[in-house]
Amino acid sequence: MLTFNKWFWSKALVYLIDVLIVNIGFFSFYLVEKILFDAVFEPSAIPYLVIANITYIISLFLFPTVVYYRWKNPTLVINQVFKLVLMHLLLFYAMLSVFNLFSVNILHVLSFYAFFLVAMLAYRYLLWKMIGHLRLQGKNNKKIVLVGEAESINKVIQVMDDFLMGYSIVGIFSDDEKLDKNKLPMQNLKKIGKVADLLDFCKTMKQNEDVIDEIYCGLPLEQFEDFSTMLDFCENNMIRFFFVPTQYNFVPRNLKSTQIANLLVLSVREEPLQDVQNIIVKRIFDIVVSSLFLILIYPFVFVIVGTLIKLSSKGPIYFIQKRTGMNGKIFNCIKFRSMVQNEQCDDVCATRNDPRKTKIGAWLRKTNLDELPQFINVLRGEMSVVGPRPHMLKHTDLYASMVNHYAVRLLVKPGITGMAQCKGFRGEVSKVEDIQQRVKWDVWYLENWSFFLDIKIVFLTILKMIKGDENAY
């Protein structure tokens, strides 16, 4: 168990090293600017250093360290570092604008932030690994007891095995005959018994100076008296008490607790993109990527592809089609035209050997180049770089009638690419399973979004474009 003082000072040390990285990085950047590029800070480097430190403290307040979280997966740590560095960059430039301090080349500033990002990622990741190693050795572990129905107990054990570290289950108590004792973790288990045995076990542990930190209770409502007795005992013995809702028995997914004033409610899914900070991060990413692409690359693509389309068939370069966007809002989706003009374009999806496709159109669809104009939709805010693919209006209604929970994918902006496409579920829907899998991965993306996941999907999409996708036609 980590006492408050040890926790506070160890966390303060993490923040202190963070500040040192900021300052070492700044001075290294200052020397490079001065020696190699003969740059001059006016009136001196001090205002820049002060701003760098102030904006770091603000950024750290908005995105605090999560290396102490007991997650097995480092994704949370990595995501937090990306957000921290991005926020620092935005705040730093905002402060420079306020104080009219723009004598530094932006490319050199970006080089500093590249160093800052790499240094922070390496430092935070190594720290997370070190803390995880200590917990695997049994240090800084929380000793917990599970009590309740088999379903609730198994749910807690599964979550801890799959996602968490630093927890040691020392006792399990249940009156449920469905609890299979042979499948329980036995490495540190000191007691398996009935609910009535719980308090005596806790007292014995306390007498032996083997303190229990937390109790997780998943008792049904008919055992409210036992629940109340346990809660009183925990409150009087400095044991933290957590209630595991028995709703797990009839809601087949992870629940998220939400506070509405002083009322605790449970929602049926985690939605990271409901948080304002995540919405801002994703929108900044969309604006930066789409702007860079449309300015630096798209003019050349448009000239080449547009010329080939005009030479291959009569009609416009763009094909604009109404599709279903976020929250069911209809928008005009822009694509390079890949078919001859026809009356079925808004009703029938392209098939493998579709006679409507032009020769150049077949190549555009195979390489996904026909989707590139959708960066215009991204810049407008109608789409995102990554998200569920938007469907034709007719197909939105059709698929909603075929697949349960289909409309969940409409809670986020549609994307140029998405998790379902990376998993190979794209193109023609020839059977119900095709759209079921697509919806499954779209909903998974909505529930598990992170900035790092968007980057991963973009790279996977580029690899698929290079290697070729058999379902792209």
Whether the Cβ atoms of residue 178 and residue 82 lie closer than 8 Å to each other: no
Average pLDDT, the chain: 79
Q: Which of 89, 116, 136 is the last residue of a domain?
A: 136
Same domain, 310 and 406: yes
**Which of the four pLDDT bands, split at 50, 70 and 90, describes residue 299?**
very high
If you average pLDDT over each of 160-174, 262-276, 305-319, which comes out highest? Answer: 305-319
* 311: Cβ contacts below 8 Å, ≥ 6 apart: 360
Q: Which two tokens stand for residue 244?
A: 């595991």
d(CA 333, CA 315): 17
- Residues 340, 451: one domain? yes
- The mean pLDDT value for 40-69 works out to 76
Q: 73 and 213: one domain?
A: no
Quick check: 420 pLDDT over 70? yes
Q: Helix, strand, or coil here: 335?
A: strand
Final residue before a domain boundary, out of 232, 267, 302: 267
Lowest-confidence segment of 87-101, 216-230, 407-421 by average pLDDT: 216-230
Instruction: Report how many domains make up the chain.
Output: 3
Distances (CA, A) of 208 to 138, 214, 232, 432: 18, 17, 21, 60
Pair 110, 221 in one domain: no
| Token reading at 66 | 């999560």
Per DSSP, helices labelled H in 338-431 are: 359-367, 374-380, 393-402, 419-422
Question: Quick one: pLDDT at residue 350?
Answer: 57
Cβ-Cβ contacts under 8 Å for 364 (sequence gap 6 or more): 305, 336, 338, 370
Tokens coding 426: 């794209």
43 by Cβ neighbours in 10 Å (0-12 / 13-18 / 19+) ranks as exposed
Long-range contacts of 235-243 (CB under 8 A, 24+ apart): 237/202, 237/206, 239/202, 239/212, 239/213, 239/214, 239/215, 240/213, 240/214, 240/215, 241/214, 241/215, 241/217, 242/214, 242/215, 242/216, 242/217, 243/217, 243/218
* Whether 281 and 362 share a structural domain: yes
CB-based contacts of 138, cutoff 8 Å, min separation 6: 168
Which stretch, 163-177, 246-260, 313-327, 422-436, has highest mean pLDDT? 313-327
66 and 20 in a common domain: yes
Question: Which of 158, 53, 42 has the alpha carbon at shortest distance from 100?
Answer: 42
Helix (H, G, I), strand (E, B) or coil at 28: helix
pTM as predicted = 0.58
**Is residue 350 assigned to a domain?**
yes
> Are 120 and 167 within one domain?
no
Does the residue 473 lie in any domain?
no
- Most confidently predicted of 101-105, 308-312, 364-368: 308-312
Neighbouring-strand partners of residue 448: none
What span, in angstroms and rounded, lies between the C-alpha atoms of 264 and 261? 8
Say what the pLDDT of residue 78 is.
Answer: 87
193 and 319 part of one domain: no
Tell me: do 244 and 288 sit in the same domain.
no
Asked if residue 428 is part of any domain, the answer here is yes
Smallest Cα–Cα separation from 377: which of 420, 421, 413?
413
- One domain, residues 223 and 259: yes
Residue 472 forms part of a structural domain? no
Identify the pLDDT of residue 137. 74
Domain contains 439? yes
- Closest Cα to residue 291, out of 369, 370, 375? 375
The structure tokens listed for 375 are 């960066």
Which residues are 322's β-sheet partners?
332
* pLDDT tens by residue, 131-169: 888 777 777 778 888 988 887 888 888 777 777 777 888
Please report, for the domain that includes residue 204, its CATH number.
3.40.50.720
Whether residue 222 lies inside any domain: the answer is yes
Pairing of strands 256-260, 330-336: unpaired
Same domain, 282 and 422: yes
**Structure confidence at residue 5 (pLDDT):** 47
Helix or strand holding residue 453 (H, E): helix 451-467
CA distances from 11 to 5, 66, 244 (A): 10, 10, 29
Q: Give the residue with greater pLDDT, 403 vs 377.
A: 377
Mean pLDDT computed over 105-119: 77
Tens of pLDDT, residue by residue over 313-366, are 888 888 898 999 988 899 999 999 888 776 666 555 655 566 677 888 788 887
Q: What is the CA radius of gyration of the chain?
A: 28
How many residues belong to the chain? Answer: 473
Q: Is residue 211 part of a domain?
A: yes
End position of a domain, from candidates 267, 291, 313: 267
Are both 118 and 155 inside the same structural domain? no
Q: What is the DSSP secondary-structure string of 74-133?
A: THHHHHHHHHHHHHHHHHHHHHHHHTT---S-HHHHHHHHHHHHHHHHHHHHHHHHHHHH
Structural domain that includes position 105? 4-136
